[in-house]
Each structure stands twice: as structure tokens, then as C-alpha cells.
Amino acid sequence: MSKCEQCIIKQFNSLKSLTKDELMRISSCKTSMNIKKGDVIFDEGETINGVYCIKEGICKLSKLSANGKDQIVKIVVKGDLLGYRSMVSDEVSNLQAVALIDMKVCFIPKNEIINDLQTNPKFSFDVLKEMAHNLREADDIIVNMAQKSVRQRLAETLIYIHDSFGVNPDKTLSILLSREDFANIVGTATESAIRVLSQFKKDGLISMVGKKIRIENLEGLKRIE
Amino acid sequence: MSKCEQCIIKQFNSLKSLTKDELMRISSCKTSMNIKKGDVIFDEGETINGVYCIKEGICKLSKLSANGKDQIVKIVVKGDLLGYRSMVSDEVSNLQAVALIDMKVCFIPKNEIINDLQTNPKFSFDVLKEMAHNLREADDIIVNMAQKSVRQRLAETLIYIHDSFGVNPDKTLSILLSREDFANIVGTATESAIRVLSQFKKDGLISMVGKKIRIENLEGLKRIE
DNA sequence: AACGAAATATGACCAAAATCATAATTCGCC
DNA sequence: GGCGAATTATGATTTTGGTCATATTTCGTT
């Protein structure tokens, strides 16, 4: 079992603001777990009794809508904290988390960390900052959903993934998503997402390397109206 | 100038978690202001150097989209705190706030309150809870925008206003919005909002008392597919 | 290698909503 | 009370995107 106080992953999230003592205590009660691609980490309606620190891998946060479709509201990657809202709220989760690739995560029980949240102002301020940032992102998504076309939303999704999560050595997007995932991010039918991506390919904006997508013309994607 | 420590409005927001001493200090540096209907409280891109506590009135938070339309992301009412994200983030505002009716607000400078956020864990935990709640709401809005029809979103908006902000003695919705505001909440063209509301009226789901809307058949609105 | 299931692709058609145009109504203001 | 501007209303038309049907391809499993 690795030690939190020596783990470099925490540099990417609010846990960096914990003291060495706090980290050692957390380290002693955390659970490391491996999660397979496709596994449900937690489900809508479930009580989440702690926070997941993502050491490796990527997962999607989605919400089932009345018509039976999943809407992906966020992609969470290595370094991020998952389920941190459960620390503050006693409500059950409104989201489902599913691994997009194999993951390694550490689970920190709520009981252990909630105390730190209430006694370490630096830590709680950091969490506050993180939430404020997420709220701002959510505002942007709402506006995009409401006012932009499927083409635009899909182009922006590609750009977002490119800019936020980077590319592989062959320049393909580091995050591999199915057409259905793309559809569930932009909030459209799977067929529509397929059609738009095909068009982007025809237009030379993107290319496919196996199942992976490579952006060929970033500026062109940005100009999509 | 009224005193924060005696003000009952704070019961409705996180300020209730401040100590009497903290409240007295804040009271001495706050500014009371009257805001007229239609006034811009703050604009997108502005630095907000504090928090507004709403004593009276209602305002909308919106974001301008690329196509020139405003998207309303939240309605903020008496008792709420406005601009509290500025306490945690040094970024400029991503939203515009415009009064929907005349308002009375107290402005608390960021400098004065940020210290309390970092030293009073009860207060910061309260703010965290508030943000977590707002994030959950934002998730719901994203899913609605992505997956529901204009008819459904408009019906749900009416229900939301009814349930969250209440009704006048004559049973009309306490919040009076223009057709354009409705359009900007559900993310549609003004004409579409007008059409759908007209249809709701024809179907006996709502009625108009002057410019005010009265819900005649709440269950019917809930059944809109 | 062969099979079946899942993912991707494409066409045809339809429904929802945007856009454009034009009235009708309301409201502030002189 | 009347004028002009803003708001609300409604019709005609077009565009976007959803749905349904059906291939085609990919991939894991035996």
C-alpha cells in the first residue's frame, strides 16, 4: 500500500493542502482499488461514503434522463478527485461514474476526511475553489447546450478533449470515446454524432487512426458555425 | 444603516454561520444599495470584489452566447447570496446579473469576508454545501437542455418557479418574466416560447392575469412529454 | 477461421424548432 | 388621449436533428 504523503498524484488536487499528519492518517485508512474499463464506480441514487483520488485512468460522470439516454456531464481523469461533493452533502449521488479505461483509485472514507474539511481552512478553501471552477464550467456547458448546434458542440468537444487531456505520441486524442459517448456528451442521437464526425473527416478536420481520432485542422474546428 | 447581526435575511444563506463578532465587523463595512428593475448589478468580465446579500427583490444571472442571445442560468431571490464565487476565485465573473424587479441588497467587500471563510469552518462548510447544491442543480439543467423538448423545459420552468418562489395572493407566479426571459431560460427562440405558452393557455394548463401567469393545472404541466 | 454481437455508417423520412415576415397589443411618455 | 417603441402573437417556410431501417465493419469468443 503506497503512502499518501509520498504520492505525487495529490499535487493535482485539493489533497495537496492537507498537512503531513493529516495525509498519514488518511493513508492508513484509504483503500486502493483497481477498476476495469466499463465498471460502474458508483451509481445514481447511491450513497457515496467517501472520495476517490484517481491515480490512473479516466471515467465519465453521467446522468440518466427521462428518455433513457445518458447525459455525460463531465470527464474525470488522473489526478482529479471523484465524488468530493459527497463530503459536503448528505444527499445521494445524482450522477453515475463509469470507467472509460482501466483505473487505479484510492478511496478515502468520508468520516476520515470530513474532519479535515472542517478544521483545515487551506484544504476547504481549495475544495471551494475547485467547486467554483466546476460551477463555471457547468455554466458554459448550459449555454452551449442551449444555444449551439450539434456540429458546434461536437467540434468544441473535440477541442476541449484536445486541449484539456492532450494527445498521444501519434497526435491522436488521448481519450478514446465511442460514438455513443460523443453523442451523450453533446446531447444528441448516436446517429447524428456519427454523421457529424463523418462529415468532419470528409472535410479534413479530423482523421481516424484505428478507432482513435486525430485533429488535423484545429483552427478549422474552431471556426465551425 | 441596519445591522447584520440583527438582520433576519441572513437566516436564508450562509451568513447565518458567522459569529456575532464577525457579523458586527461585516455590518460596519457593508454598503446598502437600492437597485432598479433592469439595472445591471455586475457584468460578464467584471471583477466582483465582494458578495451581495439580497434583502429584497429578484435578479437573473445570465451569460451571453456567441450568437448574441442571453442564456439565463439562474434566478436569484431575496435571502440568497449573489456573487459568492468571487470570494474563492480571483477570476472575473462569467455571468451578468440584472435586476428583474427593484431590489435592496447589501454589498460586503471581499476583503472583509474572505478572512472569515478561511478561519470560520462552519461558515466555509456552509458555503461548500451551497455550492454543491448549485452544482447539482446545474447538472440537472444540463440534462434537461440536452434531452428534453422546448415544451417540456418550459413546463418545468413554470413548475420550478411555482414551487421554488411561490405565488401571489391571486395564485399567479410571484416572479414576473417576459416571454424573452422565458425563452432565455429554456434556451429557445422568443417566438417559440410565445407559441408554447399560448398553447399551454389554450390547453387550460395556465391562464393570464394581466401579464402574470397563473398555473391552472399543475399535474397537467407535469405530464407534458 | 467462423460466428455473433456490438459499433459504425448511411439513407429515407418526419418532427421540432429556428427564422423571417407581419400583425396586434401593450406601455411609457409627452 | 395619442404617438412610437417594445412586447406579444401568429403564419409561412426552412433547417436541424431525431427516428427508423438497414448495411457494413469491427471485435471478442469459441
C-beta separation of A43 from B118 below 8 A: no
* pLDDT, tens only, B53-83: 999 999 999 999 888 889 999 999 999 999 9
* pLDDT, tens only, A143-186: 999 999 999 999 999 999 999 999 999 999 999 999 999 999 99
Q: Which residues of chain A are within 8 Å of residue B129 when distances are taken between CB atoms? A: 88-89
C-beta separation of B57 from B32 below 8 A: no
CA distance B177 to B175: 6
Reading chain A (225 residues) residue by residue, the pLDDT tens digits are: 688 999 999 999 999 999 999 999 999 999 999 999 999 999 999 999 999 999 999 999 999 988 888 999 999 999 999 998 988 998 999 999 999 999 999 999 999 999 999 889 999 999 999 999 999 999 999 999 999 999 999 999 999 999 999 999 999 999 999 999 999 999 999 999 999 999 999 999 999 998 999 999 999 999 988
CA distance A42 to A32: 16
CA distance A112 to A50: 9
Strand, coil or helix: what is A109?
Answer: strand
CA distance A81 to A10: 9
Sequence-ordered alpha helix ranges (H) in chain B: 20-29, 85-88, 110-119, 121-147, 150-165, 179-186, 190-202, 218-223
Q: Which nucleotide is nearest to B181 (CA to C1')?
A: D7
Amino acid identity, position B152: Q
Residue B16 is inside which H or E element, if any? none
- Name the residue facing B94 among A69, A122, A136 (closest C-beta): A136
Please give the model's pTM, rounded to 2 decimal places.
0.93
Q: According to the model, what pLDDT value does residue A2 have?
A: 80
CB contact under 8 A, A143 and B71: yes
* pLDDT less than 50: residues of chain B: none
Name residues whose C-beta falls within 8 Å of residue B87's C-beta, 6 or more positions apart in sequence: B51, B110, B113, B114, B117, B127
Q: Which residues 100-139 of B are in CB contact (within 8 Å) with A?
A: 117-119, 121-122, 124-125, 127-129, 131-136, 138-139
Burial A65-103 (b: 16+ CB within 10 A, else e): beeebbbbbbbbbbebbbbbbbbbbeeebbbbbbbbeeb
Check whether residue B210 has its CB closer than 7 Å to nucleic acid strand C. Answer: yes
For residue B92, the chain A residue with the least C-alpha distance is: A136
Q: Which residues 162-201 of A are in CB contact (within 8 Å) with B?
A: 186-188
Tell me whether B89 touches chain A (CB under 8 Å). yes
Q: According to the model, what pLDDT value does residue A1 have?
A: 62
Pairing of strands B50-56, B103-109: antiparallel
CA distance A89 to A87: 6
- The dihedrals phi and psi of B107, each to the nearest 5 degrees, come to -105, 125
CA of B190 to C1' of C29 (A): 26
Residue B73 is inside which H or E element, if any? strand B70-77
Check whether residue B222 has its CB closer than 7 Å to nucleic acid strand C. Answer: no
CA of A150 to C1' of D16 (A): 9
Q: Which nucleotide is nearest to B187 (CA to C1')?
A: C17
CA distance B46 to B188: 27
CA distance A138 to A144: 10
Q: Which residues of chain B are within 8 Å of residue A140 when distances are taken between CB atoms? A: 63, 94
Q: According to the model, what pLDDT value does residue B154 have?
A: 97
Q: According to the model, what pLDDT value does residue B87 have?
A: 87
C-beta separation of A15 from A97 below 8 A: no
Cell of B142: 444540463
CA of A223 to C1' of C22 (A): 34
Q: Specify which residue's alpha carbon is closest to the C1' of nucleotide C16.
A: B149
